[in-house]
Amino acid sequence: MDQFDFIVLAVKTLVILVLIIQVVPVMIYLERKIAALIQDRPGPNRVGPLGLLQPVADALKLLMKEDPVPSNVNKFLFQIAPFLAVMPACLSLAALPLGDFFEIGDRKYLLQIADLNVGLLYIFAIGSLGIYGTLFGGWASNNKFSLIGAMRSASQIVSYEIPLALGVTGAVMMYGTLSLREMVFKQSGLLLGVLPNWGVFYQPLGFLVFFVAAFAETNRLPFDLPETEAELVAGFHTEYGSMSFASFFMAEYMAMTTMSAVMTTVYFGGWQIPYLSDEALFSMIGSRNILALIQVAVFFTKVMVFMCIYVWVRWTLPRFRFDQLMKLSWGNLIPIGLINIVLTAIGLYFWDKR
Amino acid sequence: MENFLPVLLLLFFAVCLCIGIYTVSHILGPKNPNASKLSTYECGVEPEGSARVPFKTHFYLVAVLFLLFDVEGVFFIPWAIIYRDSLKEGTDILIAGGLYMALLVLALSYIFRKRLLRLH
Amino acid sequence: MTDGIFIAIGIFTLLCGSSVILCKSPVYSAFSLILSFFGLAGLYILLESPFIAVIQVLVYTGAIVVLFVYVVMLMNPNSSGAYRNWIFMIVSAFLAWAVSLYLLKALTLGVAPAVGGAHALSLKEVATLLFTKYLWPFEILSIFLVVMIVAVFALAKQSKETPNE
């Protein structure tokens, strides 16, 4: 690796990070607009055309606010907790493949920060660190609501991490790899000549478990017990203001994006367009770099569809009670995940025997 | 190892991002604290004692169970990676996985049998 | 460059490790433990075993330290005056030193770690070894995990008998 490669690598990493962070303002706008649509009201429409500049206004407002540190908190942990939430959210992007590759001269660069052969486990490992932002934030605040919120959040994240891993195990058995990039390649082509060869058609049960667990992992409604406005004020971030609050918010949205991206990659063919192979598209366009741009666009479209489902579910379903939440994970999702593994093992045995 | 160099870069950018957010908000935000602003917000009611009180142990129980199941669940993944390849060489892998799965199911059914996760 | 990264991560891990035992507040100790485990994962990556590194983060940093943090936050142990007994401290320091010396000896005399020339195992090779050659130790370990769940139940039942749980 020479200097030029290193610079390209650094720029690529920065661009991908900025791209994913940009999903946050887009989602804030979309979330408010979809909420308005569901509740039959106009939604943000004052700042800019169609209220499009609303996220910018929100960000500016948050930046200009005072960030008080209450007097009886644990100062160091209180101030560092929001960043403990943001850091894992940023780091877990590393293994996501946004597209195949682009070319500069005759050198090829992958459209992925790092093609790790432990990709999927890496995302889970880094994702499991997100819990500390919540735990330390809630504890350091020295506020009863925050502490209860943090404890709830921790038990919830911890309970749903297991179905998350079990749900995806079926898919790993099928692909025989943990590299997200290879998984995408294995989903090219057609299944039975009609359907795209996507993981979801082989692993509907596994996808269901993963999908539900992903909602709980990101603390989204119907699993937002850590934040319940009515009973806990705002849970673990009651005491936070200004950009510290915004950091928690950003981390939540980035975690949602990562989860959606993993679902896209493992179950929905990643950057590939159904019924149109990469090579066929390349022969139509004739440029690798334009193809790369199209792939990134397709990838983000699929991710945004999942993000919109997140919003849709949020404004449709009521919140769970805490014991129901625990029961759903330990009593339903984990057994279903195990059954899925058994079914996949039996299925693959006969499929490969053919 | 070469593969993880970009991850180190990403870590660096993420730290920069955090420092950036912190500095910008500190430069732009006003600073005029007063006593009531710095008090704990518990819905306007005067806070009654510290929040650092002993808590229900049930949460701890959930964490211990999570730890055990997490370890078991994670080790299913190496099995899953080699499952298809090993199947070509015989059904040994099926038996290994079956034994492991049986133990997991045993543990899970024990938890349900003893109602370990009941919240009361 | 690898050496530079190794030294940087090594110093980071050592600093965090020593702050685990030097911090007076147990919460800060737990926090340092997270960072030092993270550094340890970095060292595993330098040893060309990303699988171990990922498991280190997933199991130790993501699960075991969560337990520690839980204990600290739930029980709120009094940070001042715990085990400030000089004799106790000296004896435990000596014991720790002896054990680590013994481990170091075992490591240098036994299997040399795969630094540099030695062949680093790929993910699939590790998995294959785990489920063929080391299958029985592996299954026995998972039996231990089940036993631990029973133990957890026994402990939880005891705490239920005391009036304030």
Q: Is residue C161 part of a domain?
A: no
Q: Is C132 on the interface with B (CB under 8 A)?
A: yes
Q: What is the mean pLDDT of residues A157-185?
A: 88
Mean pLDDT of chain C: 79
Beta bridge partners of C75: none
Shortest distance between the Cα of B18 and any Cα of chain C, in A, equals: 17
Q: Is residue C142 part of a domain?
A: no
d(C-alpha A218, C-alpha A155), whole Å = 13
pLDDT in tens, A288-335: 888 888 889 999 999 999 999 988 888 888 888 777 888 888 888 888
Q: Is C61 on the interface with A (CB under 8 A)?
A: yes
Q: Is B102 on the interface with C (CB under 8 A)?
A: no
Nearest to A162 among B41, B59, B69 (CB): B69
User: Is residue C6 exposed (0-12), middle (13-18) or buried (19+ Cβ within 10 Å)?
Assistant: middle
d(C-alpha A21, C-alpha A17), whole Å = 6
ipTM, 2 decimals? 0.84
Q: Is A173 on the interface with C (CB under 8 A)?
A: no
Indicate yes or no: CB of B2 within 8 angstroms of CB of A83: no
Amino acid at B12: F
Could you tell me the pLDDT band of residue A261, with boundaries at 50, 70 and 90?
very high
Query: Strands (DSSP E) along chain B, which ranges?
Result: none
pLDDT in tens, A58-105: 888 888 887 778 777 788 888 888 888 899 989 988 888 988 888 887
Which residues of chain B lie closer than 8 angstroms to A12, CB-CB? 6
How many distinct structural domains can be found in chain C? 1
pLDDT in the model for residue C117 = 47
pLDDT at A139 over 80: yes
Q: Is residue C114 part of a domain?
A: no
Shortest distance between the Cα of B11 and any Cα of chain A, in A, equals: 6
Best A166, A168, A178 member to test C by mutation, with max C CBs in 10 Å, is A178
Which residues of chain A lie closer than 8 angstroms to C44, CB-CB? none
pLDDT in the model for residue A290 = 87
Best C44, C48, C58, C126 member to test A by mutation, with max A CBs in 10 Å, is C58
* Nearby residues of A223 by Cβ (< 8 Å), 6 or more positions away: A156, A160, A215, A216, A319, A320, A325
Best A5, A87, A128 member to test C by mutation, with max C CBs in 10 Å, is A128
How many distinct structural domains can be found in chain A? 1
Which residues of chain B lie closer than 8 angstroms to A161, CB-CB? 66, 70
Least confident segment among A145-154, A202-211, C7-16, C94-103: A145-154
Confirm if A226 and A157 have CB atoms less than 8 A apart: no
Q: Read off the DSSP letter of residue A98.
A: E
Shortest distance between the Cα of A189 and any Cα of chain C, in A, equals: 26
pLDDT in the model for residue A228 = 65
pLDDT in the model for residue A231 = 64
Could you tell me the pLDDT band of residue A340, with boundaries at 50, 70 and 90?
very high
Shortest distance between the Cα of A58 and any Cα of chain C, in A, equals: 32
Range of the structural domain that residue A7 is part of: 3-353
pLDDT in the model for residue B120 = 45
* Nearby residues of A134 by Cβ (< 8 Å), 6 or more positions away: A81, A85, A149, A150, A153, A154, A157, A226, A236
Shortest distance between the Cα of B3 and any Cα of chain A, in A, equals: 6
**b vs e for A223-240, b when ≥16 Cβ sit within 10 Å of the residue's Cβ?**
bbbbbbeeebbbbbbbbb
Q: What is the mean pLDDT of residues C62-78?
A: 78
The CATH architecture one would assign to domain B13-113 is Up-down Bundle (1.20)
Shortest distance between the Cα of C54 and any Cα of chain A, in A, equals: 6
Q: Between chain B and chain C, how many beta carbons pairs sit less than 8 Å apart?
A: 111
Give the nearest chain A residue to C32 (CA atoms).
A77
Which residues of chain A lie closer than 8 angstroms to C54, CB-CB? 118, 121-122, 125
Indicate yes or no: CB of C165 within 8 angstroms of CB of B86: no
Nearest to A155 among B3, B42, B63 (CB): B63
Nearest to A139 among C54, C62, C73 (CB): C73
Which residues of chain B lie closer than 8 angstroms to A169, CB-CB? 73, 76-77, 80
pLDDT over 70 percentage in chain C: 80
Could you tell me the pLDDT band of residue C15, with boundaries at 50, 70 and 90?
very high
The CATH number of the domain holding residue C30 is 1.20.120.1200
pLDDT in the model for residue C165 = 36
Could you tell me the pLDDT band of residue A146, with boundaries at 50, 70 and 90?
confident
Q: What is the mean pLDDT of residues A244-263?
A: 89
- H-helix segments, A92-203: 119-127, 131-140, 144-175, 180-186, 199-202
Nearest alpha carbon to residue C31 among C16, C18, C13 = C16
Mean pLDDT of chain A: 85
Range of the structural domain that residue C1 is part of: 1-81
Nearest to C123 among A125, A135, A178 (CB): A178
pLDDT at C163 over 50: no
Nearest to B10 among A113, A173, A178 (CB): A113
**b vs e for C31-58, b when ≥16 Cβ sit within 10 Å of the residue's Cβ?**
bbbbbbbbbbbbbbbbbbbbbbbbbbbb
pLDDT in the model for residue C83 = 56
User: Is residue C76 exposed (0-12), middle (13-18) or buried (19+ Cβ within 10 Å)?
Assistant: middle
Indicate yes or no: CB of B82 within 8 angstroms of CB of C71: no
Q: What is the mean pLDDT of residues A188-192?
A: 78
Could you tell me the pLDDT band of residue C14, with boundaries at 50, 70 and 90?
very high
Best B83, B101, B103 member to test A by mutation, with max A CBs in 10 Å, is B83
pLDDT in the model for residue C164 = 44
pLDDT in the model for residue A177 = 86
Which residues of chain A lie closer than 8 angstroms to C57, CB-CB? 125-126, 128-129
Q: Is C69 on the interface with A (CB under 8 A)?
A: yes
